[in-house]
Amino acid sequence: MLRPRQFSPCEPFTCPVQKSDANLDSPLTVLSGVGPALDTKLARLGLRRVEDLLFLLPNRYEDRTTLAKIGSLQAGSRCLVSGEVLLAETVYRGRRNLLVRIGDGTGQMTLRFFHFSRQQQAQFRTGVVLSCFGDVRTGPVGLEMVHPEYRILKPGQHPVISDSLTPIYPATEGVQQGRLRNLATQVLEIAKASPPDELLPDEIRRQYDMPALFDALLYLHQPPPDADLASIDAGRHPCQQRLSFEELLAHYLSLRNLRDIARTAGAPQLREGAKLAERFISGLPYKLTAAQQRVIDEITDDIATPYPMLRLIQGDVGSGKTVVAAVACLRAIASGVQVAVMAPTELLAEQHYRNFSDWFRPLGIEPTWLSGSQRQAERRESLEAIASGDASLVIGTHALFQEGVTFKQLALVVIDEQHRFGVHQRMALREKGEQGQGHPHQLVMTATPIPRTLAMAAYADLDTSIIDELPPGRQPVQTVAMPETRRAEVIERVRSSCKNGQQAYWVCPLIEESDVLDYQAAEASYRMLAEALPDLQVGLVHGRMKPAEKDSLMRAFKNGKIQLLVATTVIEVGVDVPNASLMIIENAERMGLSQLHQLRGRVGRSSTKSHCVMLYKPPLGQLARNRLAILRDTNDGFLVAQRDLELRGPGELLGTRQTGLPQYRIADLVRDAGLMPKVQLAAESIRRSAAGKGDEIVRRWLGDAGRYGKV
């Protein structure tokens, strides 16, 4: 049961720390009041050392620096008042209420409590003086505060008024704000005597006009009454930007260090296969774009060096990343080593297996398949071929880096849809290739364009290549948004398109009907469309199907035997059907921009005019309306990704759950994007002239092992 809380809004904490030699590296148990139980609770916030508390910044602030007159209060304000108890009574108005009437000579107000004990009720004797803090609202008989924080003043005692704004810290169960504020006060006293090391070089702080580290921390823990709270709430205050800069710098440096470590072991030099690659390229039914050739040249230069390539290929849907990767694979295979191609889902891995098989079999190269769903006998055969080296090209899912998979000489790793894998998973596959010649080269690809500033933060350990050109003959996909009430029109559009020899996708978010979510389910849509279009061959594919069944359906669709494919978002990546020219997306208002763009990219893969229809359930909110308008107005994946980043944040865009994208304590990758170019320059300067300082910055923010794990 909730009880009225007593508080001392601004009384300075006077308890001494337990040990006179306490410093920022000391455990929290050196602080007064921190025993084993509280130490465990603080650990839930990631707080283990005194310095950790110093970097636990308030979420917001309350103004307890002035004592408001009751007669001047307005509903909606949150303030500190003091008054004498004029009346206290218990009333029953639906439930028991304790009403305490107080006045200060300028006016009166009511304190209302729904949960209280007899002891607390007895405190409110007539004539007792209180100081209270809370939200002011309009009550039945005037202004009131409901369950305010309060303190009973002794005779002659004045309300204590803070000389700084009162911080509100991130809460953890069982640790009250008052306790956190008291601990922060102790930590600040320790830091005043022994400030944290200033690790940013003076020239960098001067160049970007940054306050000193401890000055910034002190200001944010105890802002003055005239602080610009709007700037602080927006995260734009110079003191916050100073800390965000150093935190972003720590993450950037850790990734650059990871890159350096990866290169220390060396790598096999893959210089053969030029004629084989030319034979492959000349056999393609189209000419490579200048962008594809440029990236191929960059990769060819990388893998010829004696240290591991670490390269990210970014390219919009349909830009031809896989063909570029295939050329790299041929150069490696011709050099007598093994290649692994990894994709995050079986559907995408199967697509790669089919493509590489079609491309490489005429060249005398037979790809080997490996996935978690393989039958034991088939899996055993694949594992033996991989271990013996007979499998020169291995394609599969994350099963490639599981225990029991041993490569004879893995020299090139190609990872598709990089954002679905974390650094740990990339490192696990990399370690599969540890040989006498060093580590394998890594080529990672993504069809989710990544804004430049986000790429700096998330993939600083990789060189980046961008395929910014679509193959000739491709036409932009025409995109429209329509309410689901016009579904009948869309169905007729599908009928007409398919009768003219084209194919169509109909994508739904869910597989089955849901009582909770009113999304149009794929199975329901499949039944509805099969009935509405009896003259068309309609298929259904989703992630729960057995691989063989799914593969059979996808092949039938690709071969034109199925004209309309109803699917879940499992077809977001990996399906290449040039004859498909119409994409229908149900509940488009509930999907992210980048996902919608990926789905749209499944059509428009030939010279035929293609269309994407985004169905939504009205009424459409303004935010959803703006999001769909972005898709209507542009086919530029990088612009779509930038807007998606702004609207949903980096975790949604990159898939935080899969990638382990770091959770920043202070920095925000969207808000602080403008800092990244400065962070990059500062990092290179520190790596050249103050590497030791760089290691300390990483240790301060990420710990000894770093957030990405040791390599």
Rounded Cα distance, 277 and 270, in Å: 13
Of the CA atoms within 13 Å of residue 249, those in its CB half-sphere come to 29
Q: Total domain count for the chain?
A: 4
Report if residue 60 sits inside a domain. no
Same domain, 433 and 315: yes
The DSSP annotation for 394-452 comes to EEESGGGGSTT---SSEEEEEESSGGGS-HHHHHHHHHHT-BTTBPPEEEEEESS---H
pLDDT digits (tens, 9 = 90+) for 490-528: 999 999 999 999 999 999 876 555 555 555 578 889 999
d(CA 164, CA 225): 5
User: Do 392 and 494 fall within a single domain?
Assistant: no
Q: How confident is the model over 63-81, as pLDDT tens digits?
A: 999 999 999 999 999 999 9
> Would the pLDDT of 15 be above 50?
no
The string of pLDDT tens digits covering residues 367-376 is 999 988 888 9
SS3 308: coil
Note whether 513 and 537 are same-domain residues. yes
The answer on 429 and 380 residing in a single domain is: yes
Cβ count within 10 A of residue 387: 14
What letter represents residue 96's amino acid?
A: R
Beta bridge partners of 130: 83, 152
Helix-helix angle 238-264:213-221, to 10 degrees: 130
Report how far residue 550's alpha carbon sits from residue 259's, in angstroms, rounded to the nearest whole number.
Answer: 39
The reply to whether 380 and 419 lie within a common domain is yes
pLDDT of residue 391: 96
Domain boundary among 467, 500, 535: 467
Among 304-313, 356-365, 491-500, 588-597, the range scoring the smallest mean pLDDT is 588-597
Q: What is the pTM assigned to this prediction?
A: 0.75
Report the alpha-carbon distance of residue 449 to residue 653 in Å, rounded. Answer: 10
604 located within any domain: yes
Question: Do 558 and 620 fall within a single domain?
Answer: yes
Is there a domain that residue 353 lies in?
yes
Over the chain, what is the mean pLDDT? Answer: 86
For residues 512 and 596, state if they share a domain.
yes
Which of 446, 467, 488 delimits the end of a domain?
Answer: 467
pLDDT tens for 623-646 read: 888 888 998 888 888 888 778 777
Domain of residue 493, CATH code:
3.40.50.300
Q: Is 652 part of a structural domain of the chain?
A: no
| Neighbouring C-alpha atoms within 13 Å toward the C-beta of 622 | 0
For the segment 291-304, the average pLDDT, to the nearest whole number, is: 96
Closest Cα partner for 573 from 455, 419, 457? 419
For residues 129 and 103, is the Cβ–Cβ distance under 8 A? no
Residue 510, classed as helix, strand or coil, is strand
* 161, containing H or E segment: none
Do 460 and 487 fall into the same domain?
no
pLDDT in tens, 668-682: 888 898 899 999 999
Is the domain of 314 the same as that of 394?
Answer: yes
Position 708 pLDDT exceeds 50 = no
CB of 445 closer than 8 Å to CB of 313: yes
What CA–CA distance (Å, rounded) separates 2 from 116? 8
Owning domain of residue 420? 274-467
Angle between helix 487-499 and 522-532 (nearest 10):
60
**Cβ atoms 328, 334 nearer than 8 A:** no
CA 18 vs CA 185, 208, 294, 579: distances in Å: 14, 39, 64, 75
What pLDDT is recorded for position 363?
95
Pairwise CA distance, residues 287 & 188, whole Å:
65
Task: Report the CATH number at residue 91.
Answer: 2.40.50.140
Residue 208: exposure state from Cβ atoms within 10 A (0-12, 13-18, ≥19): middle
What span, in angstroms and rounded, lies between the C-alpha atoms of 342 and 432? 13
Which burial class, exposed, middle or buried, applies to 377 when counting CB atoms under 10 A from its CB (0-12, 13-18, 19+)?
exposed
Tens of pLDDT, residues 343-354: 887 778 888 998
Residue 6: is its pLDDT beyond 50?
no
Long-range contacts of 323-327 (CB under 8 A, 24+ apart): 323/284, 323/288, 323/292, 324/292, 324/295, 324/296, 324/299, 324/467, 325/414, 325/416, 325/443, 325/445, 326/280, 326/355, 326/356, 326/359, 326/360, 327/277, 327/280, 327/281, 327/296, 327/299, 327/300
Our CA angle for 253, 196, 700, nearest 5°, is 30
**In the predicted model, what is the mean pLDDT of residues 298-305?**
96
Return the number of other C-beta atoms located less than 10 Å from residue 389's C-beta.
Answer: 14
Tell me if the bond preceding 619 is cis, omega within 30° of 0. Answer: yes
Is 695 a member of any domain?
yes
Categorize the per-residue pLDDT at 82 as very low, low, confident or very high, splitting at 50, 70 and 90: very high
| Mean pLDDT, rounded, for 207-233 | 94
Say if residue 9's pLDDT is above 60: no
pLDDT at 51: 92
Please, which pLDDT band fits residue 662 given cuts at 50, 70 and 90? low
Q: Considering 584, 613, 634, which residue would you say is the last residue of a domain?
A: 634
Question: Per-residue confidence at 361, pLDDT binned at 50, 70, 90?
Answer: very high
Interacting residues of 391 by C-beta distance below 8 A, sequence separation 6+: 338, 368, 382, 385
CA–centroid distance for 58 within its chain: 22
Burial class for 304, CB neighbours closer than 10 Å (0-12, 13-18, 19+) = middle
Radius of gyration of the chain (CA): 32
**For the chain, the helix, strand and coil percentages under 3-state DSSP, each to the nearest 5:** 40, 20, 40
Instruction: Tell me the mean pLDDT in the region 409-427.
Output: 74
In a domain, 456, yes or no: yes
The size of the chain, in residues, is 711
Is the pLDDT reported for residue 431 higher than 60?
yes
CA of 135: how far to CAs of 85, 100, 108, in Å?
A: 19, 15, 15
Half-sphere exposure of 88 (CA within 13 A, CB side): 17
pLDDT of 652 reads 53
Q: End-to-end alpha-carbon separation of the chain, Å?
A: 51
When comparing pLDDT for 531 and 654, which is higher?
A: 531
Q: Which of 479, 462, 568 lies closest to 521, judged by CA?
A: 568
Assign 455 to helix, strand or coil. helix
Within this chain, do residues 151 and 288 fall inside the same structural domain, yes or no? no
* pLDDT tier at 382, thresholds 50, 70, 90: very high
What pLDDT score was predicted for residue 285?
A: 87
* Burial (CB count within 10 angstroms: exposed 0-12, middle 13-18, buried 19+), residue 26: middle
User: What is the model's pLDDT at position 120?
Assistant: 86
Structure-token match 């994007």, residue found? 673
Q: How confident is the model at residue 472 (pLDDT cuts 50, 70, 90)?
A: confident
Rounded to an integer, what distance in angstroms lies between the CA atom of residue 692 and that of residue 124?
Answer: 61
Q: Is 210 found in the same domain as 240?
A: yes
State the angle between helix axes of 238-264 and 676-689 in degrees (0 to 180), rounded to the nearest 10. 50
In a domain, 311, yes or no: yes
Is residue 657 domain-resident?
Answer: no
The DSSP annotation for 609-636 comes to --EEEEEE-SSPPHHHHHHHHHHHH---
Same domain, 295 and 259: no
